[in-house]
Structure 1
């Protein structure tokens, strides 16, 4: 039987529709089983929710994403088996971590192993620094190390940002849309199909994650690890399209634009690394100092915090595209400055709110 290759835009639509259908079908069933088996995420010291919530929503995301991707990608992408194998490895690590505790170093080792599969056995690895600090080329082994580092960094950053309702999914939706449209306009249909499949799964999941009823579910590490991994692959591919001259726009600051797309998890991870280093805290120990925790301390609900963070992410992407011509280093510094100013403003909001609460508490009761 001859191999069937579906026309570009039809393959993209098939991937998206298949992903939506599979995720929509399986999420309610997952919620039912998780509730029956009492596989719930319990409130804890560093957790924000006040009651037990079904987890393992990442199973539905993974099922829809992989099914949609495989349905549409035939004939448009090499190394599909390696990508799928790497995603499955992270998926099963995530499932185990959601069900029983996994030593953080073992999870980290799995992430490095996944990154090595991608860097060594596929064409997803850096080949240029785009002139950053005057450097264009490095020895091949150095580019492989950089690729592994970036992949692991983004995987972990998405995992860390998954702390309030809708945030990780919203960041994933924004990034999938941006990269997917960019890949499509650049004629890179294989990665457009991958982005469409991830987008479909995340849109369905977001509806369940934001509800306050019995249908609410968390994605867990099962979802955040796979999403982070896929977005990391997109970021590397985005850089390499430009390096190969295949991008539909010749960007001057490609790495900084890629950072802008994932600015929220990356900046938050940078903050947390610095804070934990200064306080001599183990990086793998959870705390309540993330950006989303600060938003809640400022008095915002989960939905409003997610909305404002998402809008800020979109704003940063727009700034990066508008200022692309100033160069990688300068654009990176502008993005860092904007994030720093936003964080300082957030701190001021928290201080004003806590000062107001203290004044109210100190008002004497009139009898």
Structure 2
């Protein structure tokens, strides 16, 4: 009995149990959510910017929250946490409940950005004030050491909102937000486990198990499930929570077995993909005179799809790139902090912008394997969005061609079970690739015009 007791007192064993238990529980709850969504028609309708062709349940965030919240409550009961950690549990669960309902309302009814921002602000403030979880200092970044209390509070809330929205915006293709969430949680969870912080380690690994269970259905064809805003807001919030706790633990540096140098730079590297992507699209939108929260196809994952990648391949490539940036930050952590920051920024930006250095048009023409319905739909929507963007400078005759093509798109493309599927795919593929090639060539020569249809 003593041996068994010692095994279950081992934090690494408990972490493994947390991942397995969360996965097994989520594997049971997601099918129930999918069934309920189909029965009550709580699903996302395909639209002009949709990456999917069929109505799909978007309540994956409900399963993530239930799995994580139940796991962390049970963990609190059986591990006899200290009062300070119990307060953290209550604040964390309370904040995520608020974000869950905020995301559900946005998934089902759609809410304004102002209301969404207000909810994120309140959820972040609850955690900061109730559990005193703040970024205490910057470890010398730009000469800043320990932060005054109110600056620390305001900066922490800003970081929470930034990371929440970054995760919300990268949730555009299957597996991306979930995959980055697993990578981020794994890094922070391992760090907390190595330094004996049981509460934060188990919270990290519980989320990993819940996300693995979600990805099984996110990639499924028969029982497909989307994370939805409820899931992306929830995941982004937990990522921000882990990042701030990581910075605090390393800043205080009390009895750490494996402290890290230049922790703020490493935290930026861990969250580099969502941060890089959201800042990039915000700059593009503001430069074009649009709202930073307006929709478009300028995300990095869209570029991978333009290059012909599947959702799985695009998500895997981005996750591996993020992992490479993390490894680079760890290898260079002993450098002077500002030089390391410069090196990591240059290295990370260069890696993430590689897809934009490749020619998507040549890639499409060289492909021997026909694109899937999904990829073709995405390509058509991208071309159509460009035509709409140029509408003000295009003659009515030219623009009507694109409008006609949009309206006359074969309805059969949405029904992949019909016997005419191959004919439909062939027709759609030829139309889209033909239009893309002409559009690209004419745009390069006459950037203010949309090509007319060749007869």
Q: What TM-score results when the alignment is normalised by the length of structure 2? A: 0.75
The answer (yes or no) to whether the contact 2:174–2:218 under 8 Å persists in 1 is yes
Deviation at 1:71, TM superposition (A): 1.3
Change (3 A) 1:361 1:305: closer
The 5 A counterparts of 1:102-181 are 102-181=111-190
2:228 is matched with which residue?
220
1:83 is matched with which residue?
92
2:421 is matched with which residue?
none
* Partner-residue secondary structure (3-state), 1:196: helix
* Partner-residue secondary structure (3-state), 2:99: helix
Q: Which one of 48, 53, 56 corresponds to residue 53 of structure 1? A: 56
User: Following the alignment from structure 1 to structure 2, what is the Cα–Cα distance between the partners of residues 178 and 274?
Assistant: 29
User: Following the alignment from structure 2 to structure 1, what is the Cα–Cα distance between the partners of residues 53 and 336?
Assistant: 46
**Residue 305 (1) aligns with residue 314 (2):** yes
The answer (yes or no) to whether the contact 1:58–1:222 under 8 Å persists in 2 is yes
User: Following the alignment from structure 1 to structure 2, what is the Cα–Cα distance between the partners of residues 21 and 346?
Assistant: 37
Unaligned segments of structure 1, at least 5 residues: 1-5, 363-367
Q: Moved runs in structure 1, 4+ residues, more than 6 A?
A: 357-360
Change (3 A) 1:253 1:294: same
* Partner-residue secondary structure (3-state), 1:252: coil
The 5 A counterparts of 1:276-291 are 276-291=285-300
Deviation at 1:14, TM superposition (A): 4.5
Deviation at 1:69, TM superposition (A): 1.5
* Partner-residue secondary structure (3-state), 1:284: coil
The answer (yes or no) to whether the contact 2:308–2:364 under 8 Å persists in 1 is no
Deviation at 1:30, TM superposition (A): 0.6
Q: Which one of 16, 27, 32 corresponds to residue 29 of structure 1? A: 32
User: Following the alignment from structure 2 to structure 1, what is the Cα–Cα distance between the partners of residues 276 and 353?
Assistant: 14
Q: Deviations over 1:190-247 (max 9, x none)?
A: 0011011101100111111012x22111010111111110010100011111111144
User: Following the alignment from structure 1 to structure 2, what is the Cα–Cα distance between the partners of residues 71 and 128?
Assistant: 33
* Partner-residue secondary structure (3-state), 1:326: coil
Deviation at 1:47, TM superposition (A): 2.1
Unaligned segments of structure 2, at least 5 residues: 1-7, 366-432, 439-455
User: Following the alignment from structure 1 to structure 2, what is the Cα–Cα distance between the partners of residues 146 and 67?
Assistant: 30
Deviation at 1:352, TM superposition (A): 5.1
1:94 is matched with which residue?
103
1:318 is matched with which residue?
327
The answer (yes or no) to whether the contact 2:194–2:258 under 8 Å persists in 1 is no
Q: Deviations over 1:161-200 (max 9, x none)?
A: 1000000000011111111110000110000110111011
- Which deviates more, 77-86 or 258-267? 77-86
Instruction: Flag the structure with more relative contact order, 1 or 2, with Cα contacts below 8 A and sequence separation at least 6.
Output: 1
Q: What TM-score results when the alignment is normalised by the length of structure 1? A: 0.92
- Which deviates more, 18-27 or 31-40? 18-27
Q: Which has the larger radius of gyration?
A: 2
User: Following the alignment from structure 1 to structure 2, what is the Cα–Cα distance between the partners of residues 119 and 291?
Assistant: 32
The answer (yes or no) to whether the contact 2:99–2:120 under 8 Å persists in 1 is yes
User: Following the alignment from structure 1 to structure 2, what is the Cα–Cα distance between the partners of residues 130 and 261?
Assistant: 17
User: Following the alignment from structure 2 to structure 1, what is the Cα–Cα distance between the partners of residues 168 and 264?
Assistant: 21
